[in-house]
Amino acid sequence: MSHWLTPEEWTAVRLSLIVATTATLASLPLGLVVALLLARGRFWGKSLLDAAVHLPLIMPPVVTGYLLLIGFGRRGPIGQFLYDWFGIVLSFRWTGAALACGVMGFPLMVRAIRLSIEAVDRKLEAAAGTLGANPLWVFLVVTLPLCVPGILAGMILCFAKAMGEFGATITFVSNIPGETQTLPSAIYTFTQVPGGETGAMRLTIISIAISVAALFLSEWMARLVGRRIAVE
Amino acid sequence: MTAPVLDIAVRHRLGDFQLDAAFQSQGRLTALFGTSGSGKTSLVNVIGGLIRPQAGHVRVEGEALLDTARGVFLPKHRRRIGYVFQEARLFPHLTVRQNLLFGHWFVPHAVRKPAELDKVLELLGIGHLLKRRPGALSGGEKQRVAIGRALLTQPRLLLMDEPLAALDEARKAEILPHIERLRDEVGIPIVYVSHSLAEVARLATTVAIVDAGRIAGCGPTAEILARVDLASRPGAPEASSVLSAAVTGFDEAFGLARLATPAGELAIARGALRPGQQLRVRIMASDVMLSLAPPEGTSALNALPGRVAEIGERTGEGGSTVHLRLDCGDANLIVRLTAKSVASLSLSVGKPVYAIIKSVSVETP
């Protein structure tokens, strides 16, 4: 692969994969909790939480990126706290790109998981309760396994969104080759320089290939799981 | 005096429906019997801990699982009550084996009986299904697995909510013997919800009649099903007499079996009966005619002498129907007649009569 991609291009591909994977895995625990709250919770401010989760989906990505910059930049309230206490810097780093991609993919992930939790038959959970399982066990051995197709779908959606994220990323962490230059940023850069068409085309093809591969992977996993939990 | 197996008194409002039920049972299999919507399922849900009633208590063998007066409410996962639902509710993502052992995992190690699985597999005849998934089972198989799963939690009480209602006749016939073995061999008291008179007559040792959220009557099966006052209620299922019987001999020439019952001797079609076999027979109230003289020149095989013990109120449209209870030998026989027949025979309590029985159904083959 590396002999028909330039080192810079190869770096962008690798970085994009790392950023998207990190974003997906890091969002998963929080995504599960929020999906569970929205699907099952009854509390004040539930619609507020719902709106906040969906905000990145409806706002212009640049706005999301700018808000991240204000909040998580070195001078931002959260960014400063993270740096002072944990030495974590997000702005202009690949971790910041992962954060931006995670935030953008989060609503898609929560939506898919929430729908799958809502589809779980509560009667099965009641049955598990009568068999001696306390609520935590019921969640772990009945609800969660039955949601696996939805969780997988949510992860794939989040990953795909992260692979393609451009606006929020470039606003928050800029476009630094080797640090924050993901695939879309690299393609954008190629289109801005004379003679960059071939490079842009190569990355475009790779981008399409990764998306299609992710789609097939999710279909295959969903079928695998679906066969195991065929509904009666 | 030992505590009753089950002691319930609950009051609970669900929308427009008021559940206000109290009964005690000492039986091995207590049937909650009533029409759909009478509150049977709500009542077992209270016992199982799926509904938390506004007031009342539930005691199983003296132990309070619920007592609102003392603030006791044991959550369902700590009640040790097995629950078999109408729709089996097997976990689709687990194999039959994993489904069966699901509740077993939650039994504390100290009291867990490891040999239990083999016993349950044998009892229910489901050993060959272990590796399958619920999606690949028939309705009857699913229900047997669900029963096994509940048994393996080593429950102190087994609730069965119309476990046969969703099955066809052949599947019912496949499961009923297993429930009988459960009742007779396992020693876990069972509460069985049903709207089928045939199931109740065949299985129950004790019956509680549920009507509009209340218990209309509770007691031994034969007694309750033959109670004139319960049969006279509007919309009540048809009354019938349940008799225990033993096969004493055969009339080979005509393919009949002779049965000894507390009410007297009966002849029925031999079918697959064996000599000495114990069984239960049921006689519908409408399948009995009364005659003042010993019947002659009728086609009926079975006529038992008895006395009128009780005459119920006139019921039905225009008060056309009357239920009567007869003393026949050592048993009661419930009879449904038209009010006109009662008048024309001038039946009164104590009057000797002959009960001509048109048909006898065998409830336990």
Q: Mean pLDDT across the stretch B165-180?
A: 86
Cβ neighbors of A139 (< 8 A, separation 6 or more) are none
Q: In this complex, do B89 and A231 lie within 8 Å of one another by their Cβ atoms?
A: no
Q: In this complex, do A231 and B80 lie within 8 Å of one another by their Cβ atoms?
A: no
**Residues β-bridged to residue B23:** B8
Rg (CA), chain A: 20
Contact between B181 and B123 under an 8 Å Cβ cutoff? The reply is yes
Any B CB within 8 A of A127 CB: yes
Tokens of B185: 């061999």
Any A CB within 8 A of B108 CB: no
H-only helix segments in A41-93: 46-58, 61-72, 77-86
Least confident of A46-60, B33-47, B230-244: B230-244
Nearest residue on chain A to B87, alpha-carbon basis: A123
Mutual angle of helices A94-119 and A61-72, in 10-degree steps:
120
Most confident residue range from A51-65, B162-176, B268-282, B286-300: A51-65
Task: Give the pLDDT confidence score for residue A232 in this predicted structure.
Answer: 39
Within 13 A of B123's CA, how many CA atoms are on the CB side?
A: 22
Interfacial A residues in 44-63 facing B (CB < 8 Å): none
Q: In this complex, do B82 and A130 lie within 8 Å of one another by their Cβ atoms?
A: yes
Nearest residue on chain B to A126, alpha-carbon basis: B50
Taking phi first (over 0 means left), then psi (-120 to 50 degrees means alpha), and beta for anything else, what does residue B189 get? beta
Tell me the average pLDDT of chain B.
Answer: 88
Question: d(Cα B159, Cα B146) in Å, to the nearest integer?
Answer: 12
Best of A131, A142, A148, A151 to substitute, by most chain B Cβ atoms within 10 angstroms, is A131
In order of start, what are the domains of chain B with their CATH numbers? Answer: 6-225 (3.40.50.300), 240-362 (2.40.50.100)
Task: Judge residue A174's burial from the number of C-beta atoms within 10 Å of its C-beta, 0-12 exposed, 13-18 middle, 19 or more buried.
Answer: middle
Q: In this complex, do B142 and A123 lie within 8 Å of one another by their Cβ atoms?
A: no
Q: In what order do the strands lie in the sheet with B55-60?
A: B17-25, B6-14, B55-60, B63-67, B72-73
Q: Mean pLDDT across the stretch A48-59?
A: 93
Question: d(Cα B255, Cα B125) in Å, to the nearest integer?
Answer: 33
What pLDDT, in 10s, does the model give residues A74-114? 888 898 888 888 888 888 889 999 999 999 999 999 999 99
Q: How many Cβ atoms from other residues are within 10 Å of residue B268's Cβ?
A: 21
Residue extents of the structural domains in chain A = 8-228
Any B CB within 8 A of A146 CB: yes
**Where do we find the tokens 């299922």?**
B237
B82 chain-A contacts, CB cut-off 8 A: 130-131
Q: In this complex, do A132 and B106 lie within 8 Å of one another by their Cβ atoms?
A: yes
pLDDT band at A231; cut points 50, 70, 90: very low
What pLDDT, in 10s, does the model give residues B51-99? 999 999 999 988 999 999 999 999 999 999 999 999 989 999 899 999 9
Any B CB within 8 A of A90 CB: no
Any A CB within 8 A of B112 CB: no
Q: How far is B78 from chain A (nearest CA, A)?
A: 6
Q: In this complex, do B76 and A129 lie within 8 Å of one another by their Cβ atoms?
A: yes
**Where do we find the tokens 């013997």?**
B177
Contact between B87 and B137 under an 8 Å Cβ cutoff? The reply is no
What does the longest C-alpha to C-alpha distance in chain A come to? Answer: 70
**Where do we find the tokens 């291009």?**
A9
Question: d(Cα B321, Cα B180) in Å, to the nearest integer?
Answer: 35
Q: Is the pLDDT of residue B164 over 70?
A: yes
pLDDT band at A124; cut points 50, 70, 90: very high
**Where do we find the tokens 């970085």?**
A15
Question: d(Cα B228, Cα B310) in Å, to the nearest integer?
Answer: 8
Burial code of B75-111, b = ≥16 C-beta within 10 A, e = fewer?
ebbebbbbbbbbbbbbbbbbbbbbbbbbbbebbeeee
Q: Mean pLDDT across the stretch B190-206?
A: 90
Any B CB within 8 A of A144 CB: no
Task: Give the pLDDT confidence score for residue A14 in this predicted structure.
Answer: 92
What does the longest C-alpha to C-alpha distance in chain B come to? Answer: 70
Share of chain B above pLDDT 90, in %: 31
The helix/strand count (H/E) of chain A reads as 11, 0
Cβ neighbors of B237 (< 8 A, separation 6 or more) are B33, B35, B195, B197
CA dihedral (A178, A179, A184, A186) positive or negative: negative
Q: Is the pLDDT of residue A130 over 80?
A: yes
Rg (CA), chain B: 23
pLDDT band at B129; cut points 50, 70, 90: very high
Task: Give the pLDDT confidence score for residue B364 in this predicted structure.
Answer: 65
pLDDT band at A228; cut points 50, 70, 90: low
Best of B46, B51, B78, B93 to substitute, by most chain A Cβ atoms within 10 angstroms, is B93
Task: Give the pLDDT confidence score for residue A187 in this predicted structure.
Answer: 92
Share of chain B above pLDDT 70, in %: 99
Say which residue, B305 or A8, is predicted with more confidence: B305
Question: d(Cα A173, Cα A73) in Å, to the nearest integer?
Answer: 9
Least confident of A73-87, A182-196, B178-192, B229-243: B229-243
Least confident of A122-126, A142-146, B269-273: B269-273
3-class secondary structure, B346 = coil
**Backbone torsions φ then ψ of A163, nearest 5 degrees:** -60, -35
Contact between B235 and B216 under an 8 Å Cβ cutoff? The reply is no
Q: In this complex, do B102 and A131 lie within 8 Å of one another by their Cβ atoms?
A: yes
Task: Give the pLDDT confidence score for residue A63 in this predicted structure.
Answer: 95
Question: d(Cα B309, Cα A137) in Å, to the nearest integer?
Answer: 58
H-only helix segments in chain B: 40-48, 96-102, 116-124, 139-151, 169-181, 197-203, 221-225, 228-231, 339-344
Best of B89, B94, B104 to substitute, by most chain A Cβ atoms within 10 angstroms, is B89
Q: Is the pLDDT of residue B284 over 80?
A: yes
Tokens of A96: 């910041």
Question: d(Cα B83, Cα B302) in Å, to the nearest integer?
Answer: 42
Interfacial B residues in 293-332 facing A (CB < 8 Å): none
Cβ neighbors of B218 (< 8 A, separation 6 or more) are B23, B24, B25, B206, B207, B208, B209, B224
- Nearest beta carbon to residue A127 from set B79, B85, B135: B85
What pLDDT, in 10s, does the model give residues B305-337? 999 988 888 887 778 888 888 988 888 888 888
Domain A8-228 fold is: MetI-like fold (1.10.3720)
ipTM of the complex: 0.80
What pLDDT, in 10s, does the model give residues B210-247? 988 899 889 888 888 888 777 777 667 778 888 888 89
Say which residue, B341 or B361, is predicted with more confidence: B341
Q: Is the pLDDT of residue A23 over 70?
A: yes
